[in-house]
Amino acid sequence: MNRKEEFYWNRLDNTAKVYPAISSSRSSNVYRICVKLKEPVKPEVLEQALQETLQQLPIYNVKLRKGLFWYYFETNFSKPVVREDHLFPCTPIDKWPNNGFLFRLTYFDKKINWEVFHALSDGNGAIFFLNCLILNYLQLAHPQDAALNGISLIDSTLPQSAFEENSFLSAAREIGADVKAGTAIPALPRAYQVSGVPAPLREVRVIQLFLESRSLIALAKASGVTVTAYLAAVLFLSIYEESWRYSRRRHPISICVPVDLRSFFPSHTLRNFFSTINMTLDFSKKDYTFQELLEFCSNELQRQITHEGVLQKVRSNVHAEESMALRLVPLFLKNLVLKGIGQKTENGNTTTLSNLGRIKLPEAMAPYLQRYEVMLSPSKHQTVKLGVISYDQTMCLSFVSGIEETDVPRYFCRFLTQQGIDIRISSNMEVSPDEAMS
């Protein structure tokens, strides 16, 4: 290892800085991306593949350290741990059992589970690392497959700095924006909370819906909207019908939708580079039909996911990060401020809908893969979240919940079924999936 690698350190990116301050046992900010193979996982091969991938993409080979003014990343010389899965999804990543790494790699039967603390990377960055890991695993497990062993997912012409850059700062520089001119993002009003009986600490409830991608795409297209807009409309309706209308609280329902900024600015970073938009409806003022919900969600996505709208958020976030007054504040005081900001943001959202889209991989990998899954960690106020991902012709919708009630995903599933969508259900709950959906 050369001196640069030995003394490697890096600042947390713009978004990452908030996660160490706001994370807790009830809000881990850990997400899980799974790949199900068509054959049982070989643990020793998986461990070797992880070592190779960390050498190729050392940005993940770090631990989190605490400085006087900010957290920072430093090279982790410990050995990463690969274990058989024995925890609930998205539980906090404990420092000592995990040798200080900010990810957790586990396996069970044919499934590989890749869990990442959000301070390290966003979903799209984590998917790229996981895809490289899976390719390395398959090449090691099947050395006789010439087609498989002749491909690579990493552009060898790119320097490591391309994967490590803080793209928020790079975007602000490339567009020539005066970061001090950014308009402050308005604070979100308090949103409705889906309440219920809390699950035991560090336990989450998972209900997954598996369906053919083309069937839902056709349904959304027939309605004149995107898949994300369609799912958001069904989610609005599910929360309203199964929770809001029976509650005495009349706060608006707000859905948070993450947006990958790599589609707006050229970037190969594997760190966080995303923003969010919020779709908010006040059902106390109007009873919305499903068609009205579709139109609202479609219009909001088109209105907010624009270059100008994204640019405004990048400017404001970079301005806050570059503020000299904030930079000179000790870390323990920053954490207090960040916790307050995080709590207000948390209370401004009812739920999160994250659609990571369709995974595209070389054809040589297809004979070995079944599907992908993504799960988001619930939090104290956002008790139910929905993650969506597709591979080949299978779309997986994962409801992850911190409460015992299954009303929202049950209504969601029933609604799609009534529209003619064939769904297969899986759950980690004690009751059977059929009972949970009845």
DSSP 352-392: EEEEEEEE---GGGGGGEEEEEEEPPP-SS--EEEEEEEET
Check residue 325 and give its pLDDT: 54
Check residue 432 and give its pLDDT: 44
Q: Supply φ then ψ for residue 41, to 5 degrees.
A: -75, 140
Closest CA to 220 of 363, 416, 70: 416
Amino acid, single-letter form, for residue 370:
Q
Q: Are 205 and 403 in contact (CB under 8 A)?
A: yes
- Length of the chain, in residues: 438
Give the whole-angstrom CA distance, residue 409 versus residue 63.
36
Which pLDDT tens digit goes with each residue over 295-338?
999 999 999 998 888 877 777 767 656 664 566 788 888 888 88
Distance separating the N- and C-terminal Cα atoms of the chain: 58
CATH 3.30.1490.110 fits 3-174, yes or no: no
The secondary structure element, H or E, covering residue 128 is helix 123-141
Q: Are 90 and 103 in contact (CB under 8 A)?
A: no
With 90 as the cut, is the pLDDT of residue 162 above it? yes
Check residue 7 and give its pLDDT: 62
Residue 11 binned pLDDT confidence (cut-offs 50, 70, 90): confident
Mean pLDDT of the chain: 90
CATH of 179-437 given 3.90.245.10, 3.30.70.1280, 3.40.50.300, 3.30.559.30: 3.30.559.30
Q: Is 100 helix (H, G, I), strand (E, B) or coil?
A: coil
Domains of the chain by residue range: 3-174, 179-437
Q: Is 27 helix (H, G, I), strand (E, B) or coil?
A: strand
With 70 as the cut, is the pLDDT of residue 190 above it? yes
The secondary structure element, H or E, covering residue 227 is helix 227-242
Residue 174 binned pLDDT confidence (cut-offs 50, 70, 90): low
Report, as an integer, the average pLDDT of 275-301.
Answer: 95
With 80 as the cut, is the pLDDT of residue 35 above it? yes
Closest CA to 210 of 35, 353, 396: 396
Q: Do domains 3-174 and 179-437 have the same CATH topology?
A: yes
Give the torsion through C-alpha atoms of 199, 202, 208, 213, to 10 deg: 140
Check residue 327 and give its pLDDT: 67
Identify any residues that bridge with 275 across adjacent strands, giving them in sequence order: 259
